[in-house]
């Protein structure tokens, strides 16, 4: 068995744990969703200074003030907003029924349900913000997540891995650090949805790997600045 196969097997074990726990949980209450959001906010508030120091070490030039503004505060904002909106987002929406069911007194509605386990591949440029901010949507929708942060910010990625382990069970949040072999194995997993933020060139490989399991994708890809 190759190294990548071994890594994928370990990840697959965690994914199966998360899916099994998600199914056993049943309906994900608003209280559970808000609790997960609160724990994520708590980690940023507790470890904000350490995260800024880790980013300064990884970048070698980024100021503490910039990292606090763009990454730490920039992630807390979306999490707090989702906390306010989560109960509203969970409400069922009425829909008209089609003929001939409408003649028989039928009623229609859309009930929003979690997907299950969402994979998140985050980039190096805003490593904290683009790891934590997506959790606003992941948690408010009642999902669990597995995260692959960038290998180009090793100190920040390792610190986030320790932080999540402090506040979340592995069946709620799991973090996998490492290089391309880890990323390749991660993107090939049969998630219920996969988020990728990064370069277009890498996204092609991610999409190809995800297509093997028909995993739905959300891609936020890079591009040239219009002012350059």
User: Which residue has 């891609």 as its token pair?
Assistant: 219
Section 181-192 average pLDDT: 95
* Lowest mean pLDDT across 85-94, 164-173, 181-190, 219-228: 219-228
Query: Where residue 227 falls among pLDDT bands split at 50, 70, 90?
Result: low
User: What ranges make up the beta strands (E) of 155-210?
Assistant: 173-175, 193-198
pLDDT of residue 44: 97
Contact yes or no for 10/175 (Cβ under 8 A): no
pLDDT tens column, 68-98: 999 999 999 999 999 999 999 999 999 888 8
pLDDT of residue 226: 64
| Beta bridge partner(s), residue 198 | 221
pLDDT of residue 74: 95
Query: Where residue 37 falls among pLDDT bands split at 50, 70, 90?
Result: very high
Both structure tokens of 212: 């093997």
pTM over 0.85: yes
17-29 in b/e form (b: 16+ CB < 10 A) is bbbeebeeeeebe
Section 112-136 average pLDDT: 96
Contact yes or no for 128/75 (Cβ under 8 A): yes
């Amino acid at each position: 068995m190759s190294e990548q196969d071994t890594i994928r097997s370990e990840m697959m074990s965690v994914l199966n744990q998360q899916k099994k726990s998600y199914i056993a949980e049943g309906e994900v209450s608003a209280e559970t969703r808000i609790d997960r959001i609160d724990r994520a906010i708590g980690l940023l508030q507790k470890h904000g200074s350490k995260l800024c120091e880790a980013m300064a070490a990884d970048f070698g030039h980024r100021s503490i003030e910039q990292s606090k503004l763009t990454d730490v505060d920039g992630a807390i904002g979306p999490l707090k907003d989702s906390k306010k909106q989560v109960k509203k987002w969970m409400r069922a929406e009425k829909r008209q029924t089609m003929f001939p069911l409408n003649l028989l007194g039928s009623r229609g509605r859309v009930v929003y349900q979690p997907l299950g386990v969402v994979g998140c591949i985050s980039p190096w440029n805003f490593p904290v913000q683009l790891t934590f901010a997506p959790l606003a949507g992941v948690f408010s929708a009642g999902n669990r997540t597995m995260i692959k942060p960038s290998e180009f910010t090793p100190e920040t990625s390792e610190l986030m891995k320790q932080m999540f382990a402090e506040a979340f069970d592995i069946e709620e949040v799991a973090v996998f650090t490492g290089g391309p072999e880890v990323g390749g194995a991660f993107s090939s997993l049969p998630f219920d949805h996969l988020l990728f933020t990064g370069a277009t060139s890498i996204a092609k490989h991610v999409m190809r790997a995800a297509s093997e399991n028909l995993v739905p994708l959300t891609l936020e890809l890079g591009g040239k600045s219009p002012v350059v």
